[in-house]
Structure 1
């Protein structure tokens, strides 16, 4: 007695294999990019960091009474390598969004490959779900590995290299945590939506790039306001020197009534003249509202949650656009592909 295989059971693995075979070059390129990035980040967090740290120890040991030598080249190599690896990793969502718009959906609709799949019994919803799920797994795995190695490299240099980037540097902040992974997933959904809406590869690529950059900028703009900040106050004579560093949310003057007001522009030639001007405005000190390093984890989680929420909204919008598109393409609707 033989088992009966339903058509749906036959089609489901076929669709997955078809998607993998169709996008095999991109998958191979992505795997190669991740492996290359991982190797470079291991190099950055290992030999380059150790050499630069030795250079900084030599520099700090100098008394400058005599000619002092230190390994400046090692310090500069680390600085350049860090920037060259951090900026592309921060921009990785742009690459994901551009590919999703141009190749994942836009090219398939433009060439008629999607319509061919639908005609062979693959439902549009499952077609889109498969195209989003498989890249999402690859993007999550690859980006998570790179983010982990970047944070490892940054941590190895913290406190050892004088020119190491601070945790609140915008590029460092995102590439050190899960927000880059979440932004890449949001870019994937943005690209899929752009491809379904425009149905042409090149316009979808351009729109995906602009929209992904907008999502990245929105996340960065909202990030300081997603978690309660702390406020520190000092007297006028101490200026901002007694305050703490981190992600600044607001700063200015504190009046006698406790009101926080913006610091007025002072064009005086001396600090004392500026302080007298501030006192005429009833100012008694400075305030600084900011996020310290202890807020790094909460800020990462809230920013990632925001990006994932946007990814969910874009995904729902993509399915709605697909439903409208396939409804218009049905016979008797008066529309053509």
Structure 2
């Protein structure tokens, strides 16, 4: 009886220790409790969005399979694909980095600096570095979990139709910025940028306004630099310059530039012959022998995404170093 009691007590203690070990404690608990409403809202909305995207993929796969996908031509199944739904969802996902930067990143430190919570933290035994690391770490983890889940779910929904440019162009922000590592990197950079802005401005509202402007600038710069992440492929022909002699590009390839080429290898703009009397006269005048087309194949999409994401991750790390460097010196 004594052994049984001892065993029961030991099991109870072990169970209690295990239960406590699974709970947040100390600084982690404090940060989670302080921001639990925002974190819970983000995680809840993400869960609902992912469930809806999973359902959309199942519905799409049933339809495609019934119409002979993947062996059938796109014109057999494309009419039944809800193109507007893809475009609307991708448009909404494009705002996720901005929303996270403005409503989570900007107030994260600005709110504590404005209402005096930072002074209270600085007077405790925990160091400012630990407080910053916990606050930034837990928030970043929530951002990564949410954006990764959305990226995977949307990528799987769009994946079966990725070779049909009419659904979503792979090089456009609607697909490129909402799948793979790019949405995670964009959201994390915008979020950490918002945290840095909030630390400098020290006022929640103005920090949110400035962060919104920062996020828009990031999106604009990213839009113009996106295609520069790829390695341009050139294909040429020497079969004349008639319309039927233009090169045939791979499926879903993005055409960057088209030029006419002469026998000596010199290139001319595709509109060179527009003012000439005839195509034949133009060809003789410039010794034109064919076409030269620069393009990006869809096979480069993944490598372009990881290259761009790597650049954004490096920039994010640089901003985080700035936050810790300034935070150790002047957090209140």
Q: Identify the residue that residue 242 of structure 1 maps to in structure 2.
A: 248
Structure 1 47/325 Cα, relative in aligned 2: closer, same or farther at 3 Å?
same
Q: Over residues 119-174 of structure 1, what are the superposed CA-to-partner deviations in whole Å (9 max), with x where a residue is unaligned?
A: 22332222222121111111112211111111111123356x78422323321122
Q: Report the RMSD for the aligned CA atoms in angstroms.
A: 3.2
Q: Distance in 2 between matches of 1:92 and 1:110?
A: 26
Aligned counterparts, 1:140-289, within 5 A = 140-158=144-162, 163-234=166-237, 235-237=240-242, 238=244, 240=246, 242-244=248-250, 245-264=252-271, 273=278, 276-277=281-282, 280-289=285-294
Q: Distance in 2 between matches of 1:101 and 1:138?
A: 12
Aligned counterparts, 1:2-13, within 5 A = 13=25
Stretch of structure 1 that moved more, 171-180 or 42-51: 42-51
Deviation at 1:275, TM superposition (A): 7.2
CA contact (8 A) 1:104 1:195 kept: yes
CA contact (8 A) 2:107 2:195 kept: no
Q: Distance in 1 between matches of 2:78 and 2:269?
A: 44
Unaligned runs of 5+ in 2: 1-23
TM-score under structure 1 normalisation? 0.77
Is the aligned partner of 1:16 residue 2:20? no
Q: Distance in 2 between matches of 1:88 and 1:20?
A: 27
Q: How many residue pairs were aligned? A: 302
Q: Over residues 39-97 of structure 1, what are the superposed CA-to-partner deviations in whole Å (9 max), with x where a residue is unaligned?
A: 1211221214534775898x957xxxxxxxx996x54xx22321222112222111111
Stretch of structure 1 that moved more, 243-252 or 313-322: 243-252
Q: Identify the residue that residue 98 of structure 1 maps to in structure 2.
A: 102
Query: 2:234 is paired with a residue of what secondary structure?
Result: strand
Q: Distance in 2 between matches of 1:284 and 1:157?
A: 37
Q: Identify the residue that residue 302 of structure 1 maps to in structure 2.
A: 307
Q: Identify the residue that residue 3 of structure 2 maps to in structure 1.
A: none
Unaligned runs of 5+ in 1: 1-11, 62-69, 330-337
Q: Identify the residue that residue 322 of structure 2 maps to in structure 1.
A: 317
